[in-house]
Amino acid sequence: MTFPVVGMVGGGQLARMTHEAGIPLGLKFKLLSDTPQDSAAQVVSEVVIGDYRDLDTLRAFARGCDVITFDHEHVPTEHLRALEADGIPVRPGSDALVHAQDKGVMRAKLTEIGAPCPRNRIVSDPADAAAFAEEAGGFPVILKTVRGGYDGKGVWVVRSETEAADPFRAGVPVLAEEKVDFVRELAANIVRSPHGQAVAYPVVESIQVDGVCDTVIAPAPELDEALTGEAQQLALRIAAELDVVGHLAVELFETRDGRILVNELAMRPHNSGHWTQDGAITSQFANHVRAVLDLPLGDPRPRAPWTVMCNVLGGDYPDMYQAYLHCMARDPQLKIHMYGKDVKPGRKVGHVNTYGDDLADVRERARHAADYLRGTITE
C-alpha cells in the first residue's frame, strides 16, 4: 500500500465524518480515542485507546502515521511541539493551533494583525472584571476561561462583581469581553493547504440555543454582499497570518451597525460546516483531509441555492431509528447523519441536512426532521 496513514487524535463525531470522507480516496486512518465506544472508534479499523494528554502515548500513536490531525483542540501545546521536534507532521501545527486552544493568545494575535474583535483583556479577579466592565461601558460583560470551554461551557454572562466570582474558581486565567449588541452569529469556513492554496465556503448564519449550535443556514440570508466578501477575506487572512493548515472556522458577530467581529476560532471541521456534506461540491471533511495531506483542494461551491443543517439533540425518546420510517417517507431528499452516541438529554447525537430552492421550505423540512428524531413532535 502506498496510500498515506492519517492519524486522528480524538474519537468524536468530527473524526468519524473525516474518516468517512477519506474512504473514497483509499486513505487509511489511525485513531487515538478515549474509549472503544467513542463515535469514530466504532467505525475506524485501527484504534488506539489512550490518553491524548500523555506524551508517551502520543509518540507511540504517531509511529506509522504520515500526518497527525485532530477532532478537538485539547492536546497540550507542549506535547504538539515535542511531536514536531520528533519530525512528525502535525497539522495544524502547534504555533497555529494554540490560537484555538487559548483565547487569550487568540485575542492578542488577532489584535496584533488588526482583525476586528470585541473589546477584551485578561482579568485577575472579580474586582478586575468589574473594572473592565466600567471601561467597556458597564455590565453585563462576558467572562471566559481561556482554555477548555466549548458549547457554552466555560462562558459566563455576568451582571455584577458578585456574579463574576464563579469563573475564577477554576483556577485558570479568565478573559473578559464586552457583551456585543449583535444581530446574528455568522461563520466563515475556509480550508488552507501547506503550499498556501485556500478555498472559502459561503458565509453561513449560525443559530444558537442555550449556547449550543441549533441551526445553520447556507448561505446566510440577506447578508450584504460586501460584508460576505469581508468575512471570507478576513478568514483567509487569519489563516495565512497564523499559518493554519486544514479547516478553519471563524465564528463572527454581525453587529447592529453593520460590522463583523471575530468571536471564536476553530482549527478543525466545525458544526457550522456540516451542511457541506450534502450541500457543497466538496465537503469540509474532504477538504480538511486534502489539506493535511497537501493535496489540491476541492470546489467549495454550494450544490443548491439553500442548504439547512439542524443538529439532532438527545431528548426523552431514545429509539431514534424508529423515527426513520416517518422522516424518510415524508422527505426522500432528507440526509440524516447519526454519530453512534447514546441518547442523553441535550447531547448532540446527529444532524440532518436539507437543500432546495425555497428557503422557508428547506428550513421547515430540516426543523421537522430534527424535532421528530428527538421526539419533540410525533406527527
- Complete DSSP assignment for 248-293: EEEEEEEETTS-EEEEEEESS--GGGTTHHHHBSS-HHHHHHHHHT
Q: Which of 66, 35, 37, 67 is nearest to 48 (CA)?
A: 35
Q: Which alpha helices (H) appear in 209-257, and where do they start and end? A: 225-242
Q: Which of 314, 325, 312, 308 is nearest to 365 (CA)?
A: 308
Grouping H, G, I as helix, E, B as strand and the rest as coil, residue 346 is coil
Domains and CATH numbers, the chain: 5-90 (3.40.50.20), 119-178 (3.30.1490.20), 182-374 (3.30.470.20)
pLDDT higher than 80, residue 141 = yes
Put the strands of the sheet holding 155-158 in their side by side order. Answer: 120-123, 174-178, 141-145, 155-158
Q: Which helix (H) or strand (E) holds 325?
A: helix 324-330
pLDDT higher than 90, residue 169 = no
Q: What is the pLDDT of residues 90-121, one digit of tens each?
A: 999 999 999 999 999 999 999 999 999 999 99
CB crowding 276-285: b at 16 or more within 10 Å, else e: bbbbbebbbb
pLDDT higher than 80, residue 1 = no
Structure-block grid coordinates of residue 256:
447592529
Grouping H, G, I as helix, E, B as strand and the rest as coil, residue 229 is helix
Q: What is the mean pLDDT of residues 274-298?
A: 98
Q: Which amino acid is at 357?
A: D
Q: What is the pLDDT of residues 71-88, one digit of tens each?
A: 999 999 999 999 999 999
pLDDT higher than 80, residue 152 = no
Question: Under a CB-based contact definition with an 8 Å cutoff, are residues 17 and 335 in contact?
Answer: no
What pLDDT score does 148 carry?
74
Q: What is the mean pLDDT of residues 263-280?
A: 97
Confidence class for position 240, pLDDT limits 50, 70, 90: very high
Q: Is 255 exposed, middle or buried (0-12, 13-18, 19+ CB in 10 A)?
A: middle
Q: How many CA atoms lie within 13 A of 8 on its CB side?
A: 35
Q: What is the pLDDT of residues 307-359, one digit of tens each?
A: 999 999 998 888 899 999 999 999 999 999 999 999 998 899 999 999 999 99
Q: What is the mean pLDDT of residues 268-282?
A: 98
Task: Identify the residue whose cell numbers are 440555543.
Answer: 209
Structure-block grid coordinates of residue 343:
441518547
What pLDDT score does 144 carry?
94
What pLDDT score does 150 carry?
64
pLDDT higher than 90, residue 266 = yes
Measured at the alpha carbon of residue 327, what is the angle toward residues 321 and 333, in degrees to the nearest 5?
A: 120
What pTM did the predictor assign? 0.95
Contacts of 38 (CB under 8 A, 6+ apart): 11, 12
Angle, nearest 10°, between helix axes 103-112 and 94-101?
110
CA distance 264 to 181: 16
Q: How far is CA 350 from the centre of its chain?
A: 14
Question: Under a CB-based contact definition with an 8 Å cutoff, are residues 341 and 288 in contact?
Answer: no
CA distance 54 to 282: 35
Q: What is the pLDDT of residues 184-225, one digit of tens each?
A: 999 999 999 999 999 999 999 999 998 899 999 999 999 999
Q: Which amino acid is at 82?
A: A
pLDDT higher than 80, residue 149 = no
Q: What is the pLDDT of residues 4-49, one digit of tens each?
A: 999 999 999 999 999 999 999 999 999 999 999 999 999 999 999 9
Q: What is the mean pLDDT of residues 216-241?
A: 98
Confidence class for position 151, pLDDT limits 50, 70, 90: low
CA distance 236 to 73: 20
Question: Under a CB-based contact definition with an 8 Å cutoff, are residues 106 and 46 in contact?
Answer: no
